[in-house]
Structure 1
C-alpha cells in the first residue's frame, strides 16, 4: 500500500456539506440569522435611517427620557436621543469584526500550539502543553478582564485580548488528535522517506484536522461574540461612541425599568446571533464527524 493510499480524503466536498446543512431546519435558521446580520453589517450605511452618533432633540420626551419605538425611531431612542436601530446595526459590525478576527487568531494560535506539541512530543510537548494548562487554569472572563484593564481598550485590542484567552481549548483538542495521527503508519512511512517535519504537518496531518478546525472555528465565534458583549457591558470592551451590542446595554442599563427596550433589544440580538452560530456549529460537527454519519 502506498503512502497516498494510506492517506484517505478527509474533507467532504463543499457542495456535500451545504446540501447536508440545508436538510437541517435548525441549521437553516442559524444560517439565515447569520446572513441577515452579515448583510446588515456590510450595508449598514445604506440601511440605517439615521446617523448612529447623532443626538436628536426630538429623540427625547419633554421630561428628557428616551422615546419608545415609533415610526421615526423604529427601536426607540437611547438616553441621549440617538436612534437605537441605527446603533444596533452598526453594533453588528463591531460584534462580527471582533468575532471573526479574534476567533481567527485564536484558532491559528491554538492550531499551531496543538499540532506542534502533538507531533514533536518530548520537551516541546511538555513546554507547550504545560503553558496551555496554565492558561486554562485561569477563568477566561477573569483573564480577559485583567488583560483588557492593562491595555487601552479599542476594537483591535479587545479582539486580541479575546484571542489570547480563547486559543487553549482548540489547542488541547488538536494536540490529542495529532498525537494519534503521528503514530499512524503513513506518517511513519513519510518520516522514513526523509520528509521534513513541516512538510508532514502541513501536507499529511493538517488535512486530517480540517474538519475539527472548521467546527471549532464556527462554535468559537459564538463564544467570542458573547465575551465581547460581556467585556463591553463591564465597560472595558469597545469604548463609546463606537457602538457595540454590549456597550449599548452598558450605556442604557440605568433605564432598564423605565425603558426596557434599550436592554432587551440588544440583548436579544446577542442571544440570537450566538444561538445561530451554535446551531450551525453543531450541525457542522455532526456532518464532519465520521462517527455521526448515517445517524441523521
Structure 2
C-alpha cells in the first residue's frame, strides 16, 4: 500500500473507531444549572442549552451517521456494480432494461424520495440507508457498465473465452478486479455525499428525534446560538467535515493510474 494511501486510511479508521468505541456519558442527561459551560474534565466539549454533554451527543450522532453511510454504500455499490457489469458484458435487451431502470432512478432526486417516504412510512436510519442506497444505485450501474464495456474489448477477455472460462467467472474474477479501483474512487465520493445528505435531512427534522441526536439535528438546534456560543455549531460542523474529507482522501488516494480506464462522467 502506498504511503499516500495509508495515511488517510489510518486517519479514517481511527476516527471511525473513536466514534464507535470512545467512552461517553449519558447524552440524554440534562443539567439546567450547568448550561453553556466550556470544555472541562467532566464535559470535554462543554454543554449545550439544556446542559447536555456535547461530546456524548456528537458521538451518538456519529454512530447513526456511520450506520446510514454503511447501509447506503453497501446497497448501491454491491447491487449497482453487479448489475452494471452484467449489462456491460452481455448487452442486448437485458442490458438495455438495466440501463433504462438505472437512468430512471437518476431522474428522481434521493432527497425528494426521502421526503415522500418520510410522509408515508416515517423515516429512520434503516429507511434512510435504503433510500440513499437505491437512489445512488443507478450511478454505480452506469460506472460499471461503461468500464465493463471498455474492458470487454481487451484481448485477454477473448483469450479467456477461447480457453473455456465461463462468462460469470470472467465477470467476477477478471472484469471486477480490473475495474474495482475506479469504482472505489467513485465510492469514496458517493459515501461522502451520503454523510452530507443525511446531515441535511436531519437538519430539517427527518430521520431523527430529540432522543436520538444527529449532527444535522444538532446544527439545527444550535443555529440560534451561532453568534453567542459559536462552538456549539462548530463542533458538529467539524465532525461532518472530517468524516467527509477522510472518505474522499482515503479512496481518492488510490487514484487511477496511467493507462487505466477512464471513469464514466
- The normalised TM-score by structure 1 is 0.78
2:232 is equivalent to residue 262 of structure 1:
yes
Deviates further, 110-119 or 238-247: 238-247
The one of 144, 163, 179 equivalent to 2:149 is 179
2:190 is equivalent to residue 220 of structure 1:
yes
Alpha-carbon distance in 2 for matches of 1:58, 1:36: 35
2:137 is equivalent to residue 159 of structure 1:
no
Alpha-carbon distance in 1 for matches of 2:174, 2:9: 31
Structure 1: runs of 5 or more not aligned: 1-16, 23-27, 61-65
Task: Give the deviation of 1:193 after TM superposition.
Answer: 4.9
Residue of structure 2 equivalent to 1:58: 33
Task: Give the deviation of 1:125 after TM superposition.
Answer: 1.7
Residue of structure 2 equivalent to 1:19: 3
Residue of structure 2 equivalent to 1:74: 44
Residue of structure 2 equivalent to 1:245: 215
- The normalised TM-score by structure 2 is 0.87
Residue of structure 2 equivalent to 1:95: 65
Alpha-carbon distance in 2 for matches of 1:227, 1:252: 19
Q: Is the 8 A contact 1:40 1:92 kept in 2?
A: no
2:97 is equivalent to residue 127 of structure 1:
yes
SS in 1 for 2:253: helix
Residue of structure 1 equivalent to 2:17: 39
2:173 is equivalent to residue 198 of structure 1:
no
Q: 1:86 to 1:290 in 2, by over 3 A?
A: same
Q: Is the 8 A contact 1:158 1:238 kept in 2?
A: no
Q: Is the 8 A contact 1:57 1:81 kept in 2?
A: yes
Q: Is the 8 A contact 2:106 2:136 kept in 1?
A: no
Find the structure with the greater CA-based Rg. 1
Structure 2: runs of 5 or more not aligned: 261-265
Task: Give the deviation of 1:68 after TM superposition.
Answer: 4.2
Number of equivalenced pairs: 260
User: In the TM superposition, what whole-angstrom CA distance separates every residue of 1:75-133 from its partner, at most 9, and x where no partner exists?
Assistant: 22223221111111222212222222221221012102211110111111211111111
Q: 1:147 to 1:18 in 2, by over 3 A?
A: farther
SS in 2 for 1:225: helix
Q: Is the 8 A contact 1:33 1:272 kept in 2?
A: no
Q: Is the 8 A contact 1:245 1:266 kept in 2?
A: yes
Alpha-carbon distance in 2 for matches of 1:106, 1:240: 29
The one of 210, 232, 245 equivalent to 1:275 is 245
Residue of structure 2 equivalent to 1:117: 87
Q: Is the 8 A contact 2:89 2:152 kept in 1?
A: yes
Q: Is the 8 A contact 1:256 1:263 kept in 2?
A: yes
